[in-house]
Amino acid sequence: MHSAKTVAFHTLGCKLNYSETSSISRLMEREGFEKKEFTDVADVYVINTCSVTDNADKECRQLVRRIQRKAPESLVVITGCYAQLKPGEIADIPGVDLVLGAAEKFNIVRHIRELSKNDAAKICSCDIEEVTGFHSSYSINDRTRTFLKVQDGCDYTCSFCTIPMARGKSRSASIDAVIEDARSLAASGAKEIVLTGINLGDFGKGPDGNAAAAITGRSENFYKLIQELDQVEGIERFRISSIEPNLLGNEIIEFVANSKRFMPHFHIPLQSGSNTILGAMRRRYKRELYADRVGHIKTLMPHCCIGVDVIVGFPGETDAYFQETYDFLHQLDVSYFHVFTYSERANTHALSIQPVVPVPLRNERNKILRNLSYMKMQYFEQQHSGQTRKVLFENHNKNGMMEGYTDNYIRISTPHRTEWENQVIDWKL
């Protein structure tokens, strides 16, 4: 039995992973662990991995090597998506003591107590089909803005994606549980909640992946969730982290347009502006639907910020198809893109699609779209120049500066003033 007392964390990947690390950390602190920085010496190191990150195994290996040099007696625990997908590969990394799959990451303390440093690496994992529980999680970095996980898993079958294999079926918290979390976040001083999930718009399926109605006797969906959250006192702002275009119905757009608390900001994955490529990706919409969603948002909220995820270099993306994506994005009234370069993932259908786009060309396309994104953001910001908008300033003092976001997600940086921390200030842009 291990008598570890201190723990340090490192997170790779998305906001959902960060919120889960944050919850695992609070859970361990409640069990008597003291939290250390990852650069400090600790009894236990937890690395929360991601399967989307390129070279996840390389990154993991480097981190474990660093720990071994610094603290050879410490326990090393690897969890997260990559740990669920490739537990054997991770257990083979010299220095790893414990690999926790998706179902076990919140039982971390019990597993650590049962470990000894010199045992062979232990794998605690099960088939992803058996992972059905839902653990609500939230991150509190600086109290101002928190990421609240309300949904996990995905039932879609996009041909490039391993997330359903790493995180399992779509399932969510009940609306009552989310409201309770939001109230306790408000009581702890949080001003903004960012709703996060893997496929957030699919909110409403219960912990076993069935409709929540089967469990709670109520029919729940994302639209009902945001309506009820809007009533929570104390939270000044909500944001929707990302929502699939086919699940972003008019009622959600119209609700956000009329809400004082839901911010005029959407992040909507597009992935490609070519219907042929969207089909090969097994996405559930065509570009016309996407353009329609953007049009409806901008008609109701001309000031709304819209972010776009896009993948370049997907197999079969010829110059002509890439040009379609470029032209589509160019004429679309959106504010910025997150550009991902396609990279092969084991056990995905996309591996069988030809022709493969050479890596240098993928990188070149990434650069082209990033430049376009930069111009879009500049244009969006210029459109608001001279306007007064509300900025929520965060608690950090970064070398004498502080940062905050307007309602429509324009980042403001200004010399630090203590009295503005965690406050909403009218700001002339």
Binding segment toward ligand SF4, per CB under 6 A, in 72-80, 158-166, 300-308, 332-340: 158-166
Burial class (CB in 10 A: 0-12, 13-18, 19+), 59: middle
Pick 81 or 334: Cβ nearer ligand SF4: 81
Pick 199 or 241: Cβ nearer ligand SF4: 199
CB of 241 to ligand SF4, least distance (A): 12
Candidate list 60, 83, 198, 357; residue touching ligand SF4; CB under 6 A: 198
Where do we find the tokens 């490192």?
10
Candidate list 128, 163, 270, 392; residue touching ligand SF4; CB under 6 A: 163
CB of 347 to ligand SF4, least distance (A): 13
Pick 154 or 402: Cβ nearer ligand SF4: 154
329 forms part of the interface with ligand SF4 (CB under 6 A): no
154 forms part of the interface with ligand SF4 (CB under 6 A): yes
CB of 288 to ligand SF4, least distance (A): 19
164 forms part of the interface with ligand SF4 (CB under 6 A): yes
- Rounded to whole angstroms, the Cα distance separating 61 from 96 reads 9
CB of 210 to ligand SF4, least distance (A): 18
Candidate list 11, 84, 199, 241; residue touching ligand SF4; CB under 6 A: 199
CB of 159 to ligand SF4, least distance (A): 9
Query: Per-residue x/- mask for ligand SF4, residues 20 to 59, rule CB under 6 A?
Result: ----------------------------------------
Contact 49, 80 (CB under 8 A): yes
Query: Per-residue x/- mask for ligand SF4, residues 231 to 260, rule CB under 6 A?
Result: -------------x----------------
Closest to 247 in 3D by CA, of 156, 345, 356, 121:
156
Query: Per-residue x/- mask for ligand SF4, residues 64 to 93, rule CB under 6 A?
Result: ------------------------------
- Rounded to whole angstroms, the Cα distance separating 35 from 20 reads 15
161 forms part of the interface with ligand SF4 (CB under 6 A): yes
Spatial CB neighbours of 28, under 8 Å, sequence gap ≥ 6:
7, 35, 108, 109
156 forms part of the interface with ligand SF4 (CB under 6 A): yes
CB of 368 to ligand SF4, least distance (A): 22
∠ Cα 376 378 381 (to 5°): 110
Integer-rounded Cα radius of gyration of the chain: 22
Candidate list 78, 99, 158, 263; residue touching ligand SF4; CB under 6 A: 158
Binding segment toward ligand SF4, per CB under 6 A, in 105-113, 160-168, 246-254, 312-320: 160-168
Pick 125 or 242: Cβ nearer ligand SF4: 242
Query: How big is the site for ligand SF4, counted in residues (CB under 6 A)?
Result: 9
Binding segment toward ligand SF4, per CB under 6 A, in 104-112, 128-136, 153-161, 217-225: 153-161
Tell me which residues touch ligand SF4 (CB under 6 A): 154, 156, 158, 161, 163-164, 198-199, 244
